[in-house]
Amino acid sequence: MRHWNTWGHEDSEYAMEFGGEGLQQLANLIGPGKPLPAATLAEVIDRVPASRLPEHPLVNHDAEVRVRHARGQSFPDLMAMHSGDPGAFPDGVAFPESSEDVRELLKYAADNEIALIPYGGGTSVVGHINPNKGDPRPVLTVDMARMSALIALDKESQLATIGAGASGPQIEELLQREGYTLGHFPQSWELSTLGGWVASRSSGQQSLCYGRIEQLFAGGTIETPAGTLEIPAVPASSAGPDIREMVLGSEGRMGIITEVKARVSPLPEQESFHVVFFPDWEAGMATARELAQQRTQLSMIRLSNVTETAMLLMSGADADSLAVLHGELSRHGIGDTRVMMTFGVTGSTEQCNAALGQTTKCFERHGGVADVFQLGERWAHGRFRAPYLREILWNAGFAVDTMETAVDWAKVNEAMQGIEAAIAGALADEGEKMIVYSHLSHVYGQGSSIYTTYLFRCADSYAETYRRWQKVKAAGAEQIVAFGGTISHQHGVGADHRSYLPAEKGVLGIAAIRNLCQLFDPRGQLNPGKLLPDEEAQ
Ligand SMILES: Cc1cc2nc3c(=O)[nH]c(=O)nc-3n(C[C@H](O)[C@H](O)[C@H](O)COP(=O)(O)OP(=O)(O)OC[C@H]3O[C@@H](n4cnc5c(N)ncnc54)[C@H](O)[C@@H]3O)c2cc1C
């Protein structure tokens, strides 16, 4: 069973423990945590108002089901659910099992002036799937979980047709049985879905070899209020603008994706993950850039900065092992300014050996030293665990959230420092300290993503903690815009980033997206209030 107010499954194999010493170290850095009282599920169910939806056999009005679909997984979502006041509940939830069901729901919505929210895994961190408070229309959430089958697998063309509601584990189970993989592993993989990845332009941890969802999405079927949109899967095309690009990142505003034709790969013969330490950030960054620009056949590169390296080592190892590691590194001249790069090699034995050889030469040229403690494999083993940590920190009275962007290499360093400094200082006027650290999570020839994590103490109330979060979020987002970065490299726009979108798309660009949404959804019934800024706010 999924937790109703936080990340994950109650019996997940990824659930983690973190406590005692780790929390004490945190308190030493920013002060003791301030836990806030949490509402129970029964209390929240009691608050669910009567549904405004007319009866329909596909619509479930059950109060608990409505609570469980009220919010996503952003920090404000976590707070809202724990406080017992999600703000707004959907009036009902439908679980379609076929494209006919989806078309029926679109018709029902049109006939009754209903707002529809397409729902994948509900793992959005930017308010994508939250009903708008005060929407005069009844709201129906359309949960795609029952459309999760492997419909076809063309092994010759390496093309799979999969129901859009399939989650990461379901997709891999279906494909791996046949000897294939999609290779899309966002950190939210345990709960997020194929349709959600396409609709929010997701990026997986191994996108360096498998590609982002844009490269994996070959075509598919989208049911829209204006009709069915079939996008044929062709290997490549010069026949005008690409319709796939209109659907990618559409965030539920143009239609409901029912089937995805995805480019899959045979399971790799070999895969391994490794860690290298560098004497400083500049050496690590030069290596990451060089590896990306040389098109070295790695499946991932993640470069943690000095503070993140220290935090990862502190939380992942006991004091004795850390002392041994530090001693070993200092023999190579790597001291307190050390940074850590994690990389993966995936493919045939021959490809992996070649990539490892090329990478070793590159990092050695920059003073990098390979770790001998299997830290890379430990990272791989725990790669889906981190989301469980947030609840542990929350229960101890600490808030944790992330921000991410992508900029050109020429700006990476400056932007990372600017974003970190803005976040670190955001609560200084309240005398509150922050922990802020970053890593480069996805590297490209042109530039890199920057993924920044920050922790602060909860305030004395939910409202005050939310206000603190707003200050920090705005400080970071303004720096991203100031550096000309994208407001999101992988999390999307949703409700939380939409006011920053015009800075990236321009007036004409926003008008083009708005017109496209209107073409598919003339009455504005699909996921209102997301992606696009309010017209008057432009
Ligand atoms: C702990 C954590 C880690 C994360 N790590 C990553 C990461 O590594 N990489 C990454 O890219 N993202 C990450 N995310 C963000 C999130 O998982 C992604 O945005 C993901 O793509 C959302 O998928 P979902 O199925 O949960 O979609 P939802 O959250 O349910 O929906 C997201 C948006 O897509 C729309 N949508 C969903 N399904 C459909 C459909 N079938 N048809 C039309 N529209 C649809 C919704 O209306 C909404 O606008 C993370 C989130 C969390 C909480």
| Residue range 14-71, pLDDT digits in tens | 776 776 778 898 999 999 999 999 999 999 999 999 999 999 999 999 999 999 999 9
pLDDT digits (tens, 9 = 90+) for 102-160: 999 999 999 999 999 999 999 999 999 999 998 899 999 999 999 999 999 999 999 99
CA distance 41 to 14: 23
Q: Which of 3, 202, 302 to mutate to test the pocket of ligand 1 (most atoms within 8 A of CB)?
A: 202
Beta-carbon count within 10 A of 423 CB: 26
- Ligand 1 mean position, distance from CA 123 (Å): 5
Contact 187, 384 (CB under 8 A): yes
Token pair recorded at residue 424 = 């670190």
Residue from 5, 119, 246, 404 to probe ligand 1 pocket by mutation (most atoms less than 8 Å from CB): 119
Residue with tokens 């349709």: 195
**316 — pLDDT class (breaks 50, 70, 90):** confident
Pocket test for ligand 1, best of 93, 200, 379, 388 (most atoms within 8 A of CB): 200
Distance CA 392, CA 532 (A): 34
H and E: helices and strands count for the chain: 19, 18
Does the pLDDT of residue 536 top 90, yes or no? no
Rounded CA separation 269/266 (Å): 9
Span from the CA of 397 to the centroid of ligand 1 (angstroms): 27
pLDDT at 538 over 60: no
Give the distance (Å) from ligand 1 centre to CA of residue 267.
25
Query: Using alpha carbons only, how large is the chain's radius of gyration in Å?
Result: 23
Neighbours of 243 (CB within 10 A): 16
Question: Residues 325-331: what's their mean pLDDT?
Answer: 92
Nearest to 57 by CA among 13, 105, 16: 105
Dist CA 116 CA 125 (whole Å) = 19
Q: Chain-wide mean pLDDT for the chain?
A: 96
3-state SS assignment for residue 143: strand
Summarize the confidence of residues 315-325 as an average pLDDT.
81
pLDDT in tens, 200-241: 999 999 999 999 999 999 999 999 999 999 999 999 999 999
Tokens of 189: 């993989």
CA 419 to chain centre: 19
Q: How far is the CA of 196 from the centre of ligand 1 (A)?
A: 4
Task: Locate 161 and state its tokens.
Answer: 């047709």
Q: CB neighbours (10 Å) of residue 462?
A: 17
Nearest CA to ligand 1 atom 21: 197
Q: What is the CA(120)–ligand 1 centre distance, in A?
A: 7
Residues within a 6 A CB radius of ligand 1: 7, 72-73, 117-125, 128-129, 144, 164, 186-188, 192-193, 195-197, 199-200, 202-203, 251-252, 256-257, 387, 490-492, 527, 530
Give the chain's length.
538
**Ligand 1 centroid to residue 328 C-alpha, Å:** 41
Model pLDDT for residues 255-314, shown as the tens digit of each residue? 999 999 999 999 999 999 999 999 999 999 999 999 999 999 999 999 999 999 999 988
Confidence of residue 11 (pLDDT cuts 50, 70, 90): confident
pTM of the model: 0.97
pLDDT band (50, 70, 90) for residue 13: confident
Residue 442, CA atoms < 13 Å, CB-side half-sphere = 22
- Among the listed ranges 175-189, 371-385, 499-513, which one has the minimum average pLDDT value? 371-385
Q: Which atom of ligand 1 is nearest to the CA of 202?
A: 11
- pLDDT at residue 18, rounded to an integer: 72
The alpha carbon of 489 and the centre of ligand 1 are apart by a number of angstroms equal to 13
Closest CA to 358 of 372, 345, 376, 369: 345
Which residue, 174, 180, 179, is CA-closest to 216? 180
Q: Model confidence at 537, in pLDDT bands (50, 70, 90)?
A: low
The number of beta carbons lying within 10 Å of the beta carbon of residue 357 is: 11
Q: Which distant-in-sequence residues (6+ apart) come within 8 Å of 497 by Cβ? A: 126, 477, 487, 488, 491
User: What is the percentage of the chain residues whose pLDDT exceeds 70?
Assistant: 99
Residue 245 has pLDDT above 90, yes or no: yes
Ligand 1 atom nearest the C-alpha of 198 is 21
Q: Are 26 and 455 in contact (CB under 8 A)?
A: yes
Q: How far does the centroid of ligand 1 lie from the alpha carbon of residue 352, in Å?
A: 31
Q: Which residues contact 498 (CB under 8 A, 6 or more apart)?
A: 530, 531, 532, 533
Q: List, for residues 460-500, the tens digit of each pLDDT value.
A: 999 999 999 999 999 999 999 999 999 999 999 999 999 99
What burial class does residue 194 get, using C-beta atoms within 10 Å of its C-beta: 0-12 exposed, 13-18 middle, 19+ buried?
Answer: buried
pLDDT of 72 reads 98
Give the single-character DSSP code of 54: P
Residue 319 to residue 453: CA distance in whole angstroms: 24
